[in-house]
Structure 1
Amino acid sequence: MRLEQQTFTYIIVGAGSAGCVVANRLSKNPNNTVLLIEAGGKDTYPWIHIPVGYFKTMHNPKTDWCFQTEKDPGLNNRSIKWPRGKVLGGSSSLNGLLYIRGQAADYDHWRQLGNDGWSYESVLPYFKKAEDQERGQDEFHGSGGPLKVSNIRTHRAICDAYIDAAEEIGIPRNDDFNGHEQEGAGYFQLTSHNGRRCSSAVAYLNPIKHRKNLTIVTKALVHKVILKNGRATGVELSFGKNSTQVIHSNNEIVLSAGAIGSPHILQLSGIGDPQHLQSVNIPAKHNLPGVGQNLRDHLQVRAVYKTKQKNTLNDEVNNPIKKMMMGIEYALFRTGPLTMGASQVGIFARTHPSLEVPDVQFHFQPLSSDNPGEGLHNFSAFTSSVCQLRPESQGQVLAASTNPQDYPKIHPNYLQSEIDQQVTLAGMKLSRQLAHSKALSPHIAEEYDPGPHVQTDEELLEHARNTANTIYHPVGTCKMGTDPMAVVDDRLRVRGIKGLRVADASIMPTLVSGNTNAPAIMIGEKAADMILDDA
């Protein structure tokens, strides 16, 4: 396959959470010709659209890049899997559907770092613009936007007990983590509609994919950005094993390939730290040492508790009749376990009373397995995982060679910081405090993981190093800012290069306090407005 049209007003690389948004908004003007390039395929795999289908899409090369980290010293030299969406919708087509924006203080901090227009007051209108909130419009929420945000469609007694346990130990109830306050315990909302996933491809591409000025190509790998006299003029790409082709832009190129893809493409283009580029035989064209640096991610430590009653998803999945009934219920009513997101109940809590805002997040699931995305245990159990919201530890993403098909090397550097270790320990202890509450303990038969033999701080931290995993929120590798390591400015323009922007989670200077899909979509909305304003 080759593209017949050679030149576009805008080229967008990556049809993920942000890229679909940018393509929608830029192509609204019929005078703009827009090319959206996706390395993965179309989102036709049925499991993408069934909320619980992330069990089938993660670690599946049909839909997932299937990245793996380098051996990480903070995890006792383990290499772990890093799922990233490789399909229309990107990671929004295989994530856990949880709609969380983070704290107002996160965005105010971005503004304090010198990024004009990124305070909470400035970004809130973009969250609202994107949103079609099932509960309706108010001070914090929008209705009528492309992205459907819905209440969960299934409740369980064990989930209610978990919320009661939080309240018992002093964590307030909270029915809206994206409202006035994030702190508290309650049910998550999901990016779903009528029991089906609302990915950014479903929300932003499906309604407009037949626009004559929008070209969407799939299974096309971008090799690099073409630079000429300090300006981005086009991209080199290939379809499968076919020869490469150069497509030109007469206005701007937008990288929305994510926290792994965007810095990798910049490095392949000769934009980055000259010393690193030369070490892998890439000719250095523009000195930007922050490319691929400042990698941050949420690290989750899971606790699994066996339950006394057979009231968890494990029991239903392992019973052929109940499993069949789940499918029938979903087919007839779009309700039941198949509508579940990655977690049902969340808690945002402070590990110390002196803190002004929550520093840990819990994800509660009425199910358990040895690893997320793998089969469920053959006993009744629930999982309570905890992650530190604002880790200090920073890693890097580094191109491994000149070959665009060679995956970059991912070094997360988890638990590098002493503070990260202490907050992780405090979160693990808080997890046990919840389990020992009067509300939850009657449901628990025993602690399965980490198990009662793990008690001291040293043992708990060692358990975290041996078992903790990503919660799939990498950001920061093309960070926005004014310091020497910033890759883009507050208009998301790549510093020192004309006609090139980055619009995805890689531009986050620091990690937001929660799940990253909603913020990535907000970034897409804001980026599109800035591109159109600057035009």
Structure 2
Amino acid sequence: MYHGTDGPLSVETNPHRHPLCEKFIEAAVSVGHRFNPDFNGAVQAGCGYYQATLRNGRRCSTASAYLDPARSRPNLTIIKQALVTRVIVEKGRARGVEYFADGRRLEVASTDGEVILAAGAIGSPHLLMLSGLGPADHLKAKDVEVVADLPGVGQYLQDHISPGTISGWVKDPDAVYGQVPLKFDDAVTEFEETGGGLLATHYLDVGAFMSVDPGEAYPSLQTFFYPGISEFCRTDGVPDRRRFGVGGYVCKPGSLGSVTLASGSPLDPPIIDPNYFSDPNDLRLSIELVRKDREILNAAPFNDIRRGNATPDTDDPKGIATFVRQNASTTWHPTSTCRMGIDERAVVGPDRRVNGLEGLSVCDASVMPSMVSGNTNAPVVMIAEKGADILRSRRI
């Protein structure tokens, strides 16, 4: 059994599928990628439709799945527009957090229980370092008093980097896309009234997992297909009826970056250095991803709607490398900056507690020992579920 059937977080395959998504699957199969009806089943490799956290065709976020049902609880207080500035540590134990309320008043939330950081792979290491928990030499250089020397805080940052969008250009936009709303408000109204239209997508409805090197135990590349009109839901702009595109990333990148303090002030954003392509294998695999994506978009099933070849229109590794370096971008999957483990690099132990301190845990993507080979949303929810179980067990 590969899927749960209950629980607060709903998972569905998007019922609204643009016809071009079927074209993508047909093209991918024609160049050797087998159809996979379930990426979360027995095998990951192949092409098919992505499942997403949806309920009845609408986003099932962690807010709707977990927070909304708990809003009326007497032991829950939600404070919006708050900026946490540091964890308060007294005699080797976390006692609360300090925060700006409404961007103005400095407040304190105290506890005799446990403080849990869930600010993500950027925010959590930033808060730890502001609180004196991190690489001692770095903290001293930023005039932050050292509470605990934890060299791994902010280190080992990993992220899935996209090599850029590979585009197929449409011969006849009216034939492929038809007439679509040109105003975002009109698209919102259509979705609210019918559940369909331009916004009835999670943007990446279909794609593939692909291997590069012989003998790979798991696919090394993930790719996504999107009609040009899907960009509308991300930009609140004008649908791009001129093209369709493919993007993706290397599933298990080797490059390691860092999150460090710009200063000891919580008002200064941290310095984020993803250090992309510091591992040359990441660039090699990104080049192969572009090649495979181009092969799919140039396949015969797209011939009746595609004008010319997909761009970048080159198979030369140097040319593709230039394209990648000019167009690469994050896919917003940062992880591993407060990595969990039992070695000297670990920031938290298997129980999620911060090493060398009582009463403080981290529970977000930052604790992943290494990057997962796919999207990070569901794994982070799993981390939170497990963290909640661990916290309950400590209170029994």
Please give the range of the TM-score, normalised by the shorter of the 2 chains.
over 0.9
Q: 1:306 aligns with which of 146, 160, 169?
A: 169
For the residues of structure 2 that align with 1:425 and 1:143, how far apart are their CA atoms? 39
Task: Report 1:90-129 matches (<5 A).
Answer: none
Shift of 1:371: 12
Q: 1:140 corresponds to which residue?
A: 2
Matched, 1:504 2:364: yes
- Cα deviations by residue, 1:219-274 (Å, 9 ceiling, x for unpaired): 11111111122111111112134332222111111100001110000000000001
**Letter matched to residue 162 of structure 1:** F
**Letter matched to residue 336 of structure 1:** G
Alpha carbons of structure 1 residues 462 and 315: separation in structure 2 relative to 1, 3 Å: farther
Matched residues, percent identical?
37
Shift of 1:342: 2.2
Shift of 1:311: 6.4
For the residues of structure 2 that align with 1:283 and 1:409, how far apart are their CA atoms? 19
Alpha carbons of structure 1 residues 378 and 427: separation in structure 2 relative to 1, 3 Å: closer
1:361–1:514: 8 Å Cα contact kept in structure 2? yes
For the residues of structure 1 that align with 2:201 and 2:17, how far apart are their CA atoms? 10
Q: 1:366 aligns with which of 199, 214, 227?
A: 227
Q: 2:328 corresponds to which residue?
A: 468
Q: 2:143 aligns with which of 281, 295, 311?
A: 281
- Cα deviations by residue, 1:171-191 (Å, 9 ceiling, x for unpaired): 111121112111111111221
2:335–2:365: 8 Å Cα contact kept in structure 1? yes
The count of residues paired between Structure 1 and Structure 2 equals 393
Q: 1:430 corresponds to which residue?
A: 292
Task: Report 1:176-195 matches (<5 A).
Answer: 176-195=38-57
**Letter matched to residue 168 of structure 2:** Y
Alpha carbons of structure 1 residues 466 and 179: separation in structure 2 relative to 1, 3 Å: same
Matched, 1:525 2:385: yes
For the residues of structure 2 that align with 1:313 and 1:410, how far apart are their CA atoms? 41
Task: Report 1:410-489 matches (<5 A).
Answer: 410-447=272-309, 449-450=311-312, 452=313, 454-489=314-349
Q: 1:343 corresponds to which residue?
A: 204
Deviating more after overlay: 485-494 vs 332-341: 332-341
Matched, 1:334 2:195: yes
* SS of equivalent to 1:215: coil
**Letter matched to residue 169 of structure 2:** K
**Letter matched to residue 381 of structure 1:** R
For the residues of structure 1 that align with 2:364 and 2:132, how far apart are their CA atoms? 20
For the residues of structure 1 that align with 2:92 and 2:174, how far apart are their CA atoms? 62
Alpha carbons of structure 1 residues 468 and 371: separation in structure 2 relative to 1, 3 Å: farther
2:291–2:315: 8 Å Cα contact kept in structure 1? no
Shift of 1:196: 2.4
CA RMSD of aligned residues (A): 2.2
Task: Report 1:3-42 matches (<5 A).
Answer: none
1:272–1:286: 8 Å Cα contact kept in structure 2? yes
For the residues of structure 2 that align with 1:281 and 1:187, how far apart are their CA atoms? 51
* SS of equivalent to 1:290: coil
Q: 1:152 corresponds to which residue?
A: 14
Deviating more after overlay: 270-279 vs 243-252: 243-252
Shift of 1:332: 2.6
* SS of equivalent to 2:6: coil
1:313–1:337: 8 Å Cα contact kept in structure 2? no
Matched, 1:355 2:246: no
Structure 1 stretches lacking a partner, 5+ long? 1-138
2:294–2:311: 8 Å Cα contact kept in structure 1? no
Structure 2 stretches lacking a partner, 5+ long? none
**Letter matched to residue 170 of structure 1:** G
* SS of equivalent to 2:111: strand
- Cα deviations by residue, 1:464-514 (Å, 9 ceiling, x for unpaired): 111111111111110011221111111111111111110000101111011
1:298–1:387: 8 Å Cα contact kept in structure 2? yes
* SS of equivalent to 2:158: coil
For the residues of structure 1 that align with 2:90 and 2:240, how far apart are their CA atoms? 60
Alpha carbons of structure 1 residues 494 and 336: separation in structure 2 relative to 1, 3 Å: same
* TM-score normalised per structure 2: 0.93
For the residues of structure 2 that align with 1:515 and 1:312, how far apart are their CA atoms? 33
Shift of 1:280: 1.3
**Letter matched to residue 64 of structure 2:** V
Alpha carbons of structure 1 residues 279 and 441: separation in structure 2 relative to 1, 3 Å: farther
Alpha carbons of structure 1 residues 377 and 457: separation in structure 2 relative to 1, 3 Å: farther
Q: 1:197 corresponds to which residue?
A: 59
